[in-house]
Each structure stands twice: as C-alpha cells, then as structure tokens.
Amino acid sequence: MSDRQQKNSSTRTVNNLDDLPSPYLSGVFDLSEVKSVEIIMARGCSQNCSYCAIHESPLRYFSFERIRDEINYIADHAPHLKEILVTVADMYENVPLGEKVLPLLKKLAEERKIRVLFYVNVSTLSHDSVVRLSDCEYFDVEVGIQSLNPSVLTTCHRLPDPEKIKYNVAHLQQLAPRASIYLGLIAFLPGDTQESYWATLDWAISTRANVSVNHLRIIPGTELYDRCTARGIKVSPDYPYFVTATDKMNEEEVFSVSRLTTQIFFTLKAVSQSPFLNEEFFKLAAASKKKNPHTALAAMLARLWIKNTETVKIFEAFVRGFEQTKSLDHDLRTNYISPEDIACLEEKYRLFKPYLSK
Ligand code: SF4
C-alpha cells in the first residue's frame, strides 16, 4: 500500500458516505493518461428488483460538495478524458442532488466533448425538473425497462404498468431530445413467453432509442435465485450464471431466441450506422401490417443478408465479434461495422427491397 492509499478496515454499513476517503481527492490515481473514469454518487438502492443484489445495502448518497470536488479534480487532472460513468441506481430519484450535479456534468461534457453515462429508473421519468437537465448531446441516459409483460414485472418487483412505461419513455425523449437514450431489456425473465419477449423488443425498437438486451443472469443469493428451482429455471453453474432454460422456454427455445436476437441486432447495428438504411427500415416497418413489424423486418433483412455470399461474411464477422465479448448480451454500442461493409449491405438491400414489402 502506498503512502497515499487509505484503508477502510470496517465492514459495517457506512451511513455518511463522505466518511469514506476519496481515491480521487486523495491523489491515489494518476489520471494523466486515462480516457474513462467512474464517479460514484451513491451506494445501495431503494428498489428491490428480485434479480439484483445492489439493494442489499440501503441507498445512501455522497454529498453534493464531495461529488462536485471530485468532478472538478477529474476535470483538472485528466486531460485526455473521453467518458465518465456516473454510478447511481437512479439519477432522477434524488431531485435536489440531481439538479445540482447534472448542470456540472453538462458543462464539463460540452466544454470537453466528454460522454457521460448514467442510469435512471423508468418510474422516476416524471420528475420533470431534473429530467430536463439531461438534455445534452453528450449524455447517455440508460433506462432499465426489462419487459413489458406485467406479470414478469411483478415477479421482478418492477413497475408493472406497460402503458406508464411507454408514456414515461416518450416523456423522457420529449424533455431531453438531444440525449442518447438507451433502453435496457432482459431476456429470459421468469414468466416471459416468446410472444411477450418479441412484443417488448418490437416496442423498444419502435421508439428509435438505442436498445440493449441482457441475457438474464441469476446471481446466487438473490431472491430470484432462491425461487428459480421451484419455477423450473435452469442456470449455468458458474459465473456469470446465465439462464439456460426458463419456466416458459426450454433450452432449445432459449438458444433459438438468443440466436434470432443476434440476427436482429445485426440489422439494428447496420441501421444505426447507415442513415439510408435507418430511413428505409423505419419507413418499411411503419407501412407493414405484420405483428411486431420491427423485429419481423429486422429478422427478414438479416436472413437475406445471411443468404447472400458477400454479405454473409459481414454477418459472420459480426457474430465473431459478439462471441469475443464472451457475453450473451446484445448491445448496439459494440461490434462496429466498417464503412465498406455498410456500403455493401446498402447495395444488397436495394436488391432485396422488392421482397421486403411483400
Ligand atoms: S436493478 Fe437497478 S433499480 Fe433494481 S435493485 Fe438493482 S440497482 Fe436498484
């Protein structure tokens, strides 16, 4: 341990987080070359999602003064900074604190072109005063949706109201139009059928926000872990404890839903990188009479690209990139497709288009 490092020897819950030494303000970190930092605003959580362990400790915040001093220290000592992750379960829950912290982050982000990522809970998107302060082109606002199936949401102890969730997301997009919104879903939750999973994914894509799908992990010690055997849920025995079968989907179905999700994300990735494909995709989906028009179109388009001898190579490279992450999660922020490959996908799309609208 260096002279500047300080040790927390106590295992008790710390009520006043400011009692904890700050690694930034203590000068422990050399920030001269770092591109990415994490600012911890709070510990614990006030919610009790059944798949999560963070709420095992109560929600506590650092003071505004401590957070402000860390932001200023980082700004002064990290000349190459590109990205800040703000760790807090819900940026909008503590309105007075959010109202002070967000303007500071926004100023730094705009002056230095730094991306700032933070999480919010879908139930607090009606806290208008603080939501408005997120309207910054450098902010990535991640909203946990998980599912639109009310019984699944009830099992997870999440807001079990799909209409309210949809309304709140539209409200966020309206109050913070310049922010990048990320909607996080979880696949293979207990009670989620294939039908409700595809309906949730279809709605999420239709919002035109960025979408990610996390493959459910059931962590030992969580409420869900204790209940999963009784519901016939199977979990891989080792970390990261991915679910392999649920009470509604057997192992083969979990595998095939996951594989189809990968194909859909290939299309979504191409659509997110190509303004031409983006416009075409949402125009065709809006005109489609199919159930779940966005997922159906994305899957069909992916299948056509996979059948073509040139574009299948782009798909295979995409899958290899996905496999290298050693995760089953799908996230549009990974797996960049090169401009040449996007041009090739666009060219083949023009050939496929007559078949897509049938
Ligand atoms: S998933 Fe998020 S909101 Fe739910 S308990 Fe965990 S940290 Fe809190």
Question: Where is pLDDT greater, at 2 or 181?
Answer: 181
Token digits of residue 49: 């999602």
pLDDT at position 219 over 90? no
Q: Please, which pLDDT band fits residue 2 given cuts at 50, 70 and 90?
A: very low
User: Cα angle at 29 between 27 and 31, to 5 degrees?
Assistant: 110
Q: Please, which pLDDT band fits residue 39 given cuts at 50, 70 and 90?
A: very high
Q: Among 249, 269, 290, where does a domain finish?
A: 249
Q: Ligand 1 centroid vs 58 CA: distance in angstroms? A: 12
Best of 40, 43, 46, 47 for a ligand 1 pocket test (most atoms within 8 Å of beta carbon)? 47
Query: Which residue's alpha carbon is nearest to atom 2 within ligand 1?
Result: 89
Token digits of residue 64: 């505004």
Asked if 122 and 93 touch (Cβ cutoff 8 Å), the reply is no
Q: Please, which pLDDT band fits residue 19 given cuts at 50, 70 and 90?
A: very high
Residue with tokens 């807001």: 159
Asked if 298 and 332 touch (Cβ cutoff 8 Å), the reply is no
- Angstrom distance (rounded) from CA 113 to CA 144: 26
pLDDT of residue 228: 82
Token digits of residue 109: 């982000």
Nearest of 119, 128, 196, 207 to residue 166 by alpha carbon: 207
Measuring from each residue's beta carbon to the nearest atom of ligand 1, which residues come in under 6 Å?
45, 47-49, 52, 54-55, 89, 121, 144
pLDDT of residue 334: 83
pLDDT of residue 246: 95
Mean pLDDT of 272-293: 96
Q: Please, which pLDDT band fits residue 354 given cuts at 50, 70 and 90?
A: confident
Model-wide pTM > 0.95? no
3-state percent breakdown (helix, strand, coil) of the chain, nearest 5: 45, 15, 40
pLDDT at position 86 over 90? yes
Same domain, yes or no: 146 and 87 = yes
Same domain, yes or no: 236 and 195 = yes
Asked if 41 and 88 touch (Cβ cutoff 8 Å), the reply is yes
Same domain, yes or no: 88 and 146 = yes
pLDDT of residue 13: 80
DSSP 100-126: HHHHHHHHHHHHHT-EEEEEEEGGGTT
Mean pLDDT of 21-31: 95
Token digits of residue 191: 């009670």
Q: Among 184, 219, 249, where does a domain finish?
A: 249
pLDDT at position 117 over 50? yes
Residue with tokens 């309304």: 167
Is residue 5 domain-resident? no
- Angstrom distance (rounded) from CA 268 to CA 203: 14
Query: Which residue's alpha carbon is nearest to atom 3 within ligand 1?
Result: 47
Same domain, yes or no: 241 and 256 = no
Residue with tokens 């497709």: 337
pLDDT of residue 131: 97
Q: Among 249, 282, 314, where does a domain finish?
A: 249
Mean pLDDT of 9-30: 86
* Residue 151 CB partners (closer than 8 Å, separation 6+): 160, 191
Domain that holds residue 321: 252-358
Q: Ligand 1 centroid vs 147 CA: distance in angstroms? A: 14
Least confident of 106-110, 221-225, 242-246, 263-267: 221-225
Whole-number percent of the chain with pLDDT over 70: 96
Is residue 210 domain-resident? yes
Is residue 146 domain-resident? yes
Same domain, yes or no: 241 and 260 = no
pLDDT of residue 332: 87
Q: Estimate to the nearest angstrom the gap between the alpha carbon of 341 and the chain centroid.
A: 26
